């Protein structure tokens, strides 16, 4: 019995009925159906070619066994085949009655050793395995997982073989292992094999040891295929059980999993990014939880946190629901061992505890939990800000912060997200380009930094900074930078004091600085600098007089490449470096103040990393404006990107730089603000 998978209130008696449909098998896939979701037949096609080392072939078999064990309690069948020059079916489709016997059977498979005839193997597998004689069930969802370490030797026939699999509605996952897939043509073969969309059906890992790292994502994607089939039976089941909707006084919200929608949406609500937790499986509007006169909305996401589940609270308003959730309650924070917390939500809120406050019933697998509303948690906004700042400065996990402040871990999570959104709300007021007298003051500041009045034309310094992070499961190689760690990039422009004038954050670490520049709004929209002014960049950027600002004679000025040709160039490079160094000092100050950004990989969702970095930039500016200046413990390690190859614009500003270099070396009247000059 799975008590709590559905609930409803009797409007006549005001009693709640809690339902527990009998589920004889413990499914890997969450279901709202009266049983496991649908039949699934999963076939594994293992590469047994000579290029696969013996020890790696063992790792591949272990990976297959692990996947089988994960789905063994579902209504699933499995088949295993191997290919190289030849093709061999080791196990036709069978259910798992004894996992140990399967483990023994797969463990005894001998590697063929030979060439890699992938197309031939897929052809034979479609013709000989995905048929009734091969044990396949006509009504089952058909899934093929191809594991290979290199390019197919029969590539011309690959697309034709895949088309045969497509005609039989076989959903295909392709796993490429090793350096062979660094080659774009070889990687394209994975795209040909896999079903669409490629991002959800292609996995690429560096070696066989890394297979276990993709297991969770692969299992999740298989589970999702199990509930997103386009077959008639799935459509019928989803139309009955997959749609949940609720209406508040004015706004409308809903969640849709296959049934035809019968109303339009006036607001879209979303949960945490990258969770794939079946957000919207249940929706309710039981009460005015924050006592502001408007009904609030609860939304369940029962697959979040590996099936433990969570619920979200969205506050109602005058004419629409606030699209930003006010609280997220994770099942793991309520009770350990919960599964599918948030699968069902009470449609009314009764005072079960007798404290004159609404209580919420939340269904999970095997349990219904009653959440009681607290009248006042007693936290002031100042405490929430302190929690947020402590988390940033100490690089601590939510658990450590929870223990430090003696508040629940989920509350720490909610505080961090809530305060970050508030900080981002003032970003455009705090990080902005100077104008008028402020612009002239910036130019004077750069002249003082460089020691040359010629640099009064400079009104900004630009550079990039790598932010360590844990990369997403897919395309992690895109985030691996030339400094040999995973990161996203913060590219910024600062003034002469180290105050950020503009930030652009989020590009993967492998992308060249110049390419990031070409894709940021300041470049595309010719936003800065104004005509007659320039910004200073290192040798990784192109020297430009256009197109940042088409009417400006000077835009982005870089140093001369080493070795320089004469003393004029050497003197210019020295002055340029002294002025441009302020951006490195700015990163160094932020590194010291917000240690979590620099000292270790951020253990948060990749989608949340840019928001945290932007918050740090805002707070950095606020600290400078209020005289709170820290000395950088260690200025940002500077290592210019090499010049971008094949960039025709890389030297269009050379003549402008030559004129500026001449002005630097020419005798000038010394003004009081400038203390150092070198004259010819």
- Name 174's bridge partners: 146, 202
Give the HSE-up count for residue 294: Cα atoms under 13 Å, Cβ half-sphere.
16
pLDDT of residue 553: 35
Output the pLDDT for position 640. 57
Q: How much is the pLDDT for 200?
A: 82
- Distance between CA 452 and CA 571 in Å, rounded? 10
Instruction: Give the total residue count for the chain.
Output: 680
CA 393-326-339 angle, to 5 degrees, is 95
Q: Give pLDDT, residue 649.
A: 52
- Candidates 410, 414, 298; CA nearest to 346 is 298
0.85 surpassed by pTM: no
pLDDT for 168 equals 92
**Quick one: pLDDT at residue 286?**
81
- 45 pairs with which residues across the strands? 81, 146
Distance, in Å, from the CA atom of 587 to the CA atom of 225, rounded to the nearest integer, reads 45
CA-based nearest residue to 83, from 163, 146, 155: 146
Q: In CATH, what number does 6-18+236-372 get?
A: 2.130.10.130
> Splitting the chain (680 residues) into consecutive groups of 10 residues, what average pLDDT does each group show?
49 49 43 52 94 91 90 86 94 91 92 93 93 91 92 92 93 90 88 88 83 73 54 34 35 32 53 77 81 79 87 80 86 86 82 67 87 60 86 82 86 86 90 94 95 93 90 85 89 95 92 86 82 89 61 68 91 94 92 75 82 92 90 58 54 76 70 40
Separation CA 342–CA 299 (nearest Å) = 8
DSSP 276: -
- Domain 40-227 fold: Rossmann fold (3.40.50)
Give the residue extent of every domain in the chain: 6-18+236-372, 40-227, 381-424, 430-665
11: Cβ contacts below 8 Å, ≥ 6 apart: none
Residue 487 CA: distances (Å) to CA of 510, 589, 595, 641: 8, 19, 15, 15
Exposed, middle or buried by CB within 10 Å (0-12, 13-18, 19+), for 16? Answer: middle
Helix axis angle, 118-128 to 158-167, nearest 10° = 20
Looking at residue 440, its pLDDT comes to 95
- Tell me the H-state helices in 303-455: 304-307, 331-334, 381-394, 398-405, 409-424, 427-430, 436-450
Q: Which H/E stretch holds residue 329?
A: strand 327-330
């Amino acid at each position: 019995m799975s008590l709590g998978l559905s609930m409803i209130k009797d409007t006549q008696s005001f009693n709640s009925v809690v339902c527990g449909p009998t589920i004889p098998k413990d499914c890997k896939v969450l279901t709202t159906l009266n049983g496991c979701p649908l039949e699934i037949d999963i076939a594994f096609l293992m590469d047994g070619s000579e290029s696969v080392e013996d020890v790696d072939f063992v790792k591949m078999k272990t990976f297959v066994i692990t996947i089988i064990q994960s789905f063994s309690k579902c209504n699933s069948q499995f088949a295993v085949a191997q290919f190289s020059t030849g093709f061999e079916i080791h196990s036709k489709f069978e259910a798992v009655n004894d996992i140990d016997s399967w483990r023994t059977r797969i463990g005894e498979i001998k590697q063929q050793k030979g060439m890699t005839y992938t197309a031939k193997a897929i052809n034979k597998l479609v013709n000989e395995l995905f048929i009734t004689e091969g044990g396949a069930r006509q009504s089952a969802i058909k899934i093929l997982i191809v594991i290979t370490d290199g390019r197919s030797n029969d590539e011309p026939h690959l697309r034709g073989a895949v088309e045969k699999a497509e005609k039989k509605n076989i959903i295909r996952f392709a796993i490429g292992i090793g350096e062979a897939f660094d080659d774009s043509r070889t990687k394209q073969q994975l795209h040909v094999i896999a079903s669409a969309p490629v991002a959800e059906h292609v996995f690429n890992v560096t070696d066989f040891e890394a297979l276990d790292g993709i297991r969770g994502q692969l299992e999740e994607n298989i589970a999702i295929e199990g509930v997103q089939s386009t077959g008639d039976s799935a459509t019928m089941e989803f139309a009955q059980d997959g749609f949940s909707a609720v209406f508040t006084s004015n706004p409308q919200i809903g969640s849709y999993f296959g049934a035809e929608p019968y109303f339009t949406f006036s607001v879209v609500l979303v949960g945490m990014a990258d969770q794939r937790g079946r957000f919207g499986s249940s929706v309710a509007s039981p009460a005015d939880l924050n006592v502001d006169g408007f009904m609030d909305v609860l939304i369940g996401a029962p697959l979040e946190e590996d099936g433990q589940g969570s619920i979200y609270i969205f506050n109602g308003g005058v004419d629409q629901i606030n699209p930003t959730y006010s609280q997220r309650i994770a099942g793991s924070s309520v009770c350990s061992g919960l599964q599918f917390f948030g699968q069902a939500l009470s449609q009314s809120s009764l005072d079960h505890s007798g404290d004159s406050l609404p209580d919420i019933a939340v269904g999970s697998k095997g349990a219904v939990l009653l959440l009681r509303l607290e009248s006042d948690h007693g936290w002031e906004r100042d405490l929430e800000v302190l929690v947020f700042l402590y988390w940033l400065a100490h690089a601590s996990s939510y658990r450590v912060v929870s223990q430090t402040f003696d508040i629940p871990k989920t509350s720490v999570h909610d505080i961090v997200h809530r305060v970050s959104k508030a900080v981002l709300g003032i970003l455009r007021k705090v990080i902005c380009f100077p104008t008028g007298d402020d612009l002239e003051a910036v130019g004077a500041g750069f002249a003082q930094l460089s020691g040359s009045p010629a640099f009064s034309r400079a009104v900004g310094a630009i550079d990039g900074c790598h932010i360590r992070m844990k990369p997403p499961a897919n395309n992690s190689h895109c985030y691996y930078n030339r400094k040999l760690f995973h990161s996203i990039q913060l590219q910024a422009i600062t003034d002469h004091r180290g105050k950020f004038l503009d930030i652009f954050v989020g590009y993967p670490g492998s992308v060249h600085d110049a390419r990031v520049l070409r894709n940021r709004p300041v470049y595309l929209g010719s936003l800065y600098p104004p005509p007659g002014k320039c910004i200073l960049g290192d040798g990784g950027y192109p020297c430009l007089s256009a197109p940042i600002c088409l009417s400006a004679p000077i835009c982005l000025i870089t140093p001369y490449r080493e070795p320089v040709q004469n003393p004029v160039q050497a003197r210019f490079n020295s002055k340029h470096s002294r002025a441009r160094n302020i951006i490195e000092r700015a990163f160094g100050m932020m590194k010291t103040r917000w240690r979590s950004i620099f000292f270790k990989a951020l253990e948060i969702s990749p989608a949340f990393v840019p928001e945290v970095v932007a918050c740090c930039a805002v707070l950095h500016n606020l600290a400078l404006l209020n005289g709170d200046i820290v000395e950088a413990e260690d200025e940002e390690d500077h290592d210019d990107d090499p010049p971008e190859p094949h960039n025709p614009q890389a030297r269009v500003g050379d003549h402008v730089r030559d004129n500026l270099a001449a002005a630097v070396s020419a005798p000038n009247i010394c003004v009081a603000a400038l203390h150092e000059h070198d004259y010819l």
